[in-house]
Amino acid sequence: MPKDIDVFPDFQRGELTFPAIPLYQYDGDVTSEMASGLSRTEALKMLEYMLTIRNFEETIVKLKNGKFEPLAQYKFIGATHLSIGQEAVAIGAMSALNADDYITSTHRGHGHSIAKGAYALEKASPEYLMEFVAGDGDPADPRGLLDCAIQEHLNRTMAELFGKEEGYCRGRGGGMHIADFHSGHLGANAIVGGSYAIAAGAALAASKLGDGKTCLCFVGDGATNNGISHEAYNFAAMAQFKEGCPVIFLVENNQYGMTGQERGEVTGVEHLARRGAGYNEDNMHAEVVNGMDVLAVRDAVSRAAELCRSGEGPVLLECMTYRYMGHSLSDTRETYRSKEEEEAWQKRDAIKTFATALAKAGVASKDEIRLMRDIARERIERATMYAYSATDPDPSTIYEGLLADTTSDEIDPKWATPKEALHAEPIQQNRDGQGRILYRHAVIEALQDEMLRDKRVILYGEDVADYGGAFQATKGLFEVFGRERVFNTAISEAAIIGTAAGASMAGLRPVVELMYIDFILMTMDQLGNQAAKNRYMFGGKAKLPMVLRTTIGGGKGYAGQHSQSLEAVATMFPGLKVIAPSTAYDVKGLLKAAIRDDNPVVFIEHQHCYTNTDAVPAEDYTIPIGQARIGREGTDITVVAYSWMYYQALEAAEMAAEEGISVELVDPRTLRPLDVDMIAASVDKTKHLVVVQQAPSVGCYGEHIAYAVQDRCFDAMKRPARIVAAHDVPPPMAAPLENENLPSPEKILRNIKEVLGR
């Protein structure tokens, strides 16, 4: 049915106009805020935590320079991106969010982490605090208990910077990758702009789950020019999200990327907030905020969170601030900025001005402020000594935290999709007399089963909705589940994967589609640096139950950019599982297992297999990820082939049989983790190995299979393994060239015979 969106313009003369973007509109102060509800305690907390962040960062400077006296000899390794000068942004923003709202952060994120954790603890229950301090506090003394919890929070933060087991991420992440899932901190990101889509995805999850949460995405000014910012802004602003996408993009504009300046140098705009006008009719509610005024930031973020909660997100805030130190401690700043400029900003120092305002309003005396400074110093000293004497991770635990060993096989019935939520009767696949259906229908059946079973499973990607996907492998699901669960995205491959990663960290189980695996190269940061790493880097604490479905093509004259077999681009990342089934039976069982797995899975379908048929039980079944299957038993040689190449190898095996050669054909089905045991057992028996794959020979996954098996079976093998691959060229278009390029049954047979010396 055609969409009901009218795309025919009226061609009338006119002009496009945009609502104005407010600049520095806040005109409150301590007195006015207190008159409208800010308590004295809250006001003092803001100063206390700004002082805590400042002292934390100054301690890193001292540690690095050998000037932290108790540890003068200590060698502080790791990055030193400090946020001295920017404290009002972190504190203003976090004081405005709810305890369970999400944030994502940046390489300059110590302040964000301290602020988020502290405010989450401020708002936590005594039971939670007792658990957080592992029984160290006294529930009868709430102030003491909170103090204890704040100290514990600072200890864990500092311990992470020291790379210790007690750190928030067990020393796997360090200062640039702190995450704290207790407090909704979904992780700092050392890839500039890397968290844009993660944040939009977490907000998508909050909106779909209806849990009322908002996600605030801290990004630097430099990050706003990275491609993912555009994709994420657009994703969050899509008109089809009738409930809005509750994400606040907070640009912490400290005036410099590393040394490049957004204003006047590397962009053409005065204010990055202006970009909001490009994404939706209300400019994403963009505004420019004085980031040196903690109350102005608090006001702006409170309003932004309110907009998000009332279904009007996303929001874009640009907070003007300044980093006093260099980009890192190795940057002396002299080549790109003047002392006068630094002094001008320091005159507006957020801590000094807020302390003065508190004193002037009679909220805190000078002595009280001095005392707060001392308390901050003492807390950070304790945290530093704690971190120093905390435990170094044991090298034998290096794999801990890489993959989750859990699934959603057993789920609470509350997650089942209620019948009333369906927009149409579920699809029944037509089976022939032998129970066979198409490979593409097995995809649909698996998706539908899992979506019925668990309403956290949603499906999105390019053209997957009304059109049913470029290869019709999602056909009908939009009609059954509606736009809430099945929707089209813009052509934004990086955002598709990044949002899926973020959504999976925030409670959804998204399945997303990339039309061709060739387009995976558009997503490398989101797949390789974010989805693959976010569990390990954050100490094994995150779960990312997401599935990226994609397809391999080839053999259709589509040439270099639509015919590649790029599975090795996914298998190279620890933290991902990769599946490439050849039969419809395996598609159904493995796709269901992938959706239930709590790890990110890349699920590779093959365009040539979509119309193959196979007996596929209509009942629910899963196939364990990581188990190969013997497709044909044999005794002379083992051939390993997956995806479409399985069929080329099968034909070769049949031809070989006519020449008296008995081939054992193994389909690994899962590439990562690879079932080396089954392949090795076969090779121990046959003593010969040929690996077949569609990708070119250099840097291919077949090299890994050959290596892993030879490493186990060297003594049993009579000849080295042979890889039958495409030529080392991009896929050509012309049929004679493409035919020459793809491994054919004849070519496979020739190699089998060579390996056997026949």
User: Where along the sequence are the contacts to ligand TPP (CB under 6 A)?
Assistant: 106-108, 190-192, 220-223, 254, 256-258, 327
550 interacts with, out of Mg ion, ligand TPP, none, CB within 5 to 8 A per kind = none
85 binds Mg ion (CB under 5 A): no
Which stretch of DSSP H or E encloses residue 248? strand 247-253
Stretch that binds Mg ion, among 29-37, 38-46, 219-227, 572-580 (CB under 5 A): 219-227
Which residues are 42's β-sheet partners? none
CB of 25 to Mg ion, least distance (A): 23
Catalytic residue among 562, 606, 608, 704: 562
The smaller minimum CB distance to ligand TPP, of residues 457 and 494, is found at 494
Which residue is closest to Mg ion by CB?
Answer: 220
CB of 73 to ligand TPP, least distance (A): 29
CA distance 136 to 269: 52
223 interacts with, out of Mg ion, ligand TPP, none, CB within 5 to 8 A per kind = ligand TPP
CB of 331 to Mg ion, least distance (A): 12
194 binds Mg ion (CB under 5 A): no
Alpha helices in 567-638 (DSSP H): 567-571, 584-596
258 interacts with, out of ligand TPP, Mg ion, none, CB within 5 to 8 A per kind = ligand TPP
CA distance 70 to 114: 23
424 interacts with, out of ligand TPP, Mg ion, none, CB within 5 to 8 A per kind = none
107 interacts with, out of Mg ion, ligand TPP, none, CB within 5 to 8 A per kind = ligand TPP
CA distance 154 to 180: 12
x/- map, 220-259, Mg ion, by CB under 5 A: xxx-------------------------------x-x---
Which stretch of DSSP H or E encloses residue 90? helix 87-96
CB of 340 to ligand TPP, least distance (A): 20
CA distance 299 to 310: 17
Which residues are 602's β-sheet partners? 548, 578
* Token pair recorded at residue 298: 């608090």
Which stretch of DSSP H or E encloses residue 352? helix 350-360
Q: Which of residues 31-60 bind Mg ion (CB under 5 A)?
A: none
The smaller minimum CB distance to Mg ion, of residues 235 and 256, is found at 256
CB of 194 to ligand TPP, least distance (A): 7
The smaller minimum CB distance to ligand TPP, of residues 275 and 543, is found at 275
Q: For tokens 């890349």, what's the residue?
A: 602
CB of 263 to ligand TPP, least distance (A): 12
CA distance 52 to 377: 7
523 interacts with, out of ligand TPP, Mg ion, none, CB within 5 to 8 A per kind = none
295 interacts with, out of ligand TPP, Mg ion, none, CB within 5 to 8 A per kind = none
The answer to whether 429 touches 437, Cβ cutoff 8 Å, is yes
Total of chain residues touching Mg ion, rule CB under 5 A: 5
Which residue is closest to ligand TPP by CB?
Answer: 220
3 state DSSP class of 573: coil
The smaller minimum CB distance to ligand TPP, of residues 188 and 442, is found at 188
CB of 89 to ligand TPP, least distance (A): 10
The smaller minimum CB distance to ligand TPP, of residues 188 and 580, is found at 188
The question of whether 562 is a catalytic residue gets the answer: yes
606 interacts with, out of Mg ion, ligand TPP, none, CB within 5 to 8 A per kind = none
Which stretch of DSSP H or E encloses residue 444? helix 439-453
The smaller minimum CB distance to ligand TPP, of residues 223 and 438, is found at 223
CB of 496 to ligand TPP, least distance (A): 19
CB of 321 to Mg ion, least distance (A): 9
Stretch that binds Mg ion, among 85-93, 146-154, 217-225, 314-322 (CB under 5 A): 217-225
Stretch that binds Mg ion, among 5-13, 215-223, 289-297, 524-532 (CB under 5 A): 215-223
- What is the residue-wise DSSP string for 300-347? HHHHHHHHHHTT---EEEEEE---SS-SSTT---TTT--HHHHHHHHH
Which residue, 614, 608, 505, is CA-closest to 563? 608
The smaller minimum CB distance to ligand TPP, of residues 258 and 734, is found at 258
152 binds Mg ion (CB under 5 A): no
How many alpha carbons fall within 13 Å on the CB side of residue 230?
8
175 interacts with, out of ligand TPP, Mg ion, none, CB within 5 to 8 A per kind = none
The smaller minimum CB distance to Mg ion, of residues 222 and 276, is found at 222
Sign for the pseudo-dihedral over CA of 752, 753, 754, 757: positive
Which residue, 214, 584, 157, 582, is CA-closest to 390? 157
Helix 87-96 vs helix 110-122: angle between axes, to the nearest 10 degrees?
30
The answer to whether 682 touches 638, Cβ cutoff 8 Å, is yes
Alpha helices in 170-241 (DSSP H): 196-209, 227-236
597 binds Mg ion (CB under 5 A): no
The smaller minimum CB distance to ligand TPP, of residues 109 and 244, is found at 109
Range 226-265 burial, b when 16+ CB lie within 10 A, else e = bebbbbbbbbbbbeebeebbbbbbbbbbbebbeeeebeee
Q: Which residues are catalytic?
A: 562
Residues that bind Mg ion (CB under 5 A): 220-222, 254, 256
